[in-house]
Structure 1
Amino acid sequence: MTTLNIPLLFQKRHILPTGRMPLYLSTITHSTTLKAILLSKIGIGICMFSNKSSQRRLYHIGTRVTIEDFNHEPSNHLITLHVYGQDPFKIATIEQDNNDIIWGKCQQLPRWPQQEITIEQQLLSTRLQLMFHKHPDLHKLHHQQEFDNLSWLCQRWLEILPVPTQEKQTLLNRPDCLHACDYLMSMIKTHH
């Protein structure tokens, strides 16, 4: 397994392999981190954190992303980074350098293998297509849509549904998407 040393960003939202997401960073509070991010040749790591007052914690499974595009708005000191999910990883160690940049030594994890959907799992595909139709911004993020690939479907659902972070981490720690599929199917059936 490959070990990477990459700058990390902790977000409330998560991005998974082959996913796309805009990140908004302040040029005032994140200036040194932004420099490290823009100079990194192999990308950056996006990880989740819990901000609940009862249990603040960082989660160790993340995704290495690369920057596809960025936009700077000087009037409000924001930079929008458009990132693309590459590979999952697990953080081995974290350290903060003198410039307040958080670096992670990370073990690359294998991606979930592609898997064709069954007739029963078609519900995940149909509902996601409806979601994309209702939310054009979400639809625009994903140029290559794989509605017949169960792994791709599960990853997109895990990005957009309010799945508790700990449960999401448990599902991402599995070698394939089947547990995530069962979880998402039961969630979609009970909520719709």
Structure 2
Amino acid sequence: MQLGLFPLPIFLLPNGITTLRIFEPRYVRLVKESMADNRGFVLAMREGDAICAYGTLVHIIDFEMLPDGLLGITIQGTSRVQLSDITQQNEDGLWVGEITSLPDWPTSEEQSGVLGDALGLLFESHPEHAAQYRQTLNLESLSWVCQRWLEILPLANQQRQWFLAQSDLDEAKSFISLLLTQENVELE
């Protein structure tokens, strides 16, 4: 399936939520098409002039006219995707590509434990990170917690691409646990 691509330096994983301001004509068209057929679009990353091989399929869950007259949309990640046959359309420069959905990370029976507790503390001290998750906050789910940590951490695109390509959350869990250990995160 071919979908429109929105290249941004934002890292969003399944169940992640963020807001975007839409002002370029090509992205106004992308939003219109996405809302018309409800197929969504892909939040993609760039490396130089190239679009990276992995992205996240997102759907628009809310929209509004912003005080400055621009369109504001709220998007939610639905699945990780691999991209191929990426081209830029001549008419307005919108990027499009063929997508192959990747399976969700298997649900772990393991509780989030320290990772969830530390994310909860981060959300308490930085409520702007938690604001969009009022309805979907799931600090007990290891998968959900690992995905939110990966979105927040300042990772290079190569690292983000590597995590998007993983078939399970084991590497993410190990990585985040190591970072928290190195930072001596103590929970109250």
Verify same fold: TM over 0.5: yes
Corresponding residue for residue 138 of structure 1: 129
Aligned-partner residue type, residue 158 of structure 1:
L
Which aligned pairs between 1:47-86 and structure 2 lie closer than 5 A?
47-50=44-47, 55-73=48-66, 76-86=68-78
Matched-pair contact (CA < 8 Å) for 1:27–1:77 = no
Cα shift at 1:153:
0.9
Structure 1 residue 17: Cα displacement: 0.5
Task: Select 1:169's aligned residue among 161, 169, 173.
Answer: 161
Equivalent in 62, 83, 87 of residue 95 of structure 1: 87
Identify unmatched segments of 5+ residues in structure 1.
Answer: none
Please state how far the C-alpha of 1:27 moved relative to its aligned partner.
5.2
The answer to whether the 8 Å contact 2:55/2:164 transfers is no
1:188 and 2:180 are equivalent in the alignment:
yes
Residue 13 of structure 2 aligns to a residue whose secondary structure is: coil
| 1:23-59 alpha-carbon deviations (Å, 9 max, x no partner) | 1221567443343333342111101224xxxx55421
Residues 125 and 182 of structure 1: is their aligned pair in 2 closer, same or farther, counting only changes over 3 Å? same
The runs of 5 or more residues in structure 2 that have no matched partner are none
Change (3 A) 1:41 1:29: closer
The number of equivalent residue pairs is: 182
Deviation of 1:185 after TM superposition, in Å, equals: 1.1
Equivalent residue of 1:187, what SS?
Answer: helix
Matched AA of 2:80: P
Q: Secondary structure at the match of 2:63?
A: strand
In 1, the alpha carbon distance for the partners of 2:159 and 2:24 equals 33
Cα distance in 2 for partners of 1:30, 1:153 equals: 30
Please tell me the residue identity of whatever aligns with 2:99.
C
**Of 38, 42, 46, which aligns to 1:41?**
38
Q: Structure 2 matches for 1:11-26, cutoff 5 A?
A: 11-26=8-23
CA distance in 2, matches of 1:44, 1:56: 20
Pair 1:94–1:40, CA change in 2 (3 A): farther
Shift, 1:164, TM fit? 1.5
Q: Post-superposition shift, 1:117?
A: 3.1
Query: CA RMSD, aligned part only?
Result: 2.0
The DSSP-based 3-state class of the residue aligned with 2:65 is: strand
1:10 aligns with 2:7: yes
Of the structure 1 ranges 104-113 and 127-136, higher mean CA displacement relative to structure 2 is found in 127-136
Per-residue Cα deviation, 1:59-100 (whole angstroms, up to 9, x for no partner): 121111110111112x53422110011111000111222232
2:83–2:99 contact (8 Å) kept in structure 1: yes
| Alpha carbons of structure 1 residues 35 and 100: separation in structure 2 relative to 1, 3 Å | farther
Distance 2:83 2:25 in 1: 27
Per the alignment, residue 118 of structure 2 pairs with 127
Identity among equivalent positions (%) equals: 26
Q: Which runs of 4+ in 1 moved over 4 A?
A: none
